[in-house]
């Protein structure tokens, strides 16, 4: 009898084999470059968002100076 755990393990192994086939197969370089560019794009988008959050925190501290003096 096939249990649910065995099925999940088989699915994980199958998806792992599919990923390795995509990365190391014929179109592996294009797939890897696409992944790299998406990672860099998300990093470029994340930096200004973090900077804006830091500016908001600095403004909040300026408006309420007693909050961080105690």
For the chain, domain boundaries:
4-67
pLDDT at residue 70, rounded to an integer:
47
pLDDT digits (tens, 9 = 90+) for 24-54: 666 667 777 788 888 888 888 888 888 888 8
pLDDT digits (tens, 9 = 90+) for 3-15: 666 666 767 666 6
The CA distance from 43 to 54, in Å, is 17
The CA distance from 70 to 65, in Å, is 9
**Which pTM was predicted?**
0.36
User: What are the residues whose beta carbons fall under 8 Å from the beta carbon of 31, sequence distance 6 or more?
Assistant: 22, 23
């Amino acid at each position: 009898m096939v249990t649910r755990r065995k099925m999940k393990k088989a699915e994980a192994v199958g998806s792992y084999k599919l990923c390795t086939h995509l990365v190391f197969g014929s179109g592996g370089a294009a797939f890897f470059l696409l992944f790299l560019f998406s990672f860099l794009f998300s990093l470029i988008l994340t930096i200004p968002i973090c900077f804006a959050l830091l500016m908001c925190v600095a403004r909040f501290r300026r408006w309420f100076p007693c909050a961080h003096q105690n």
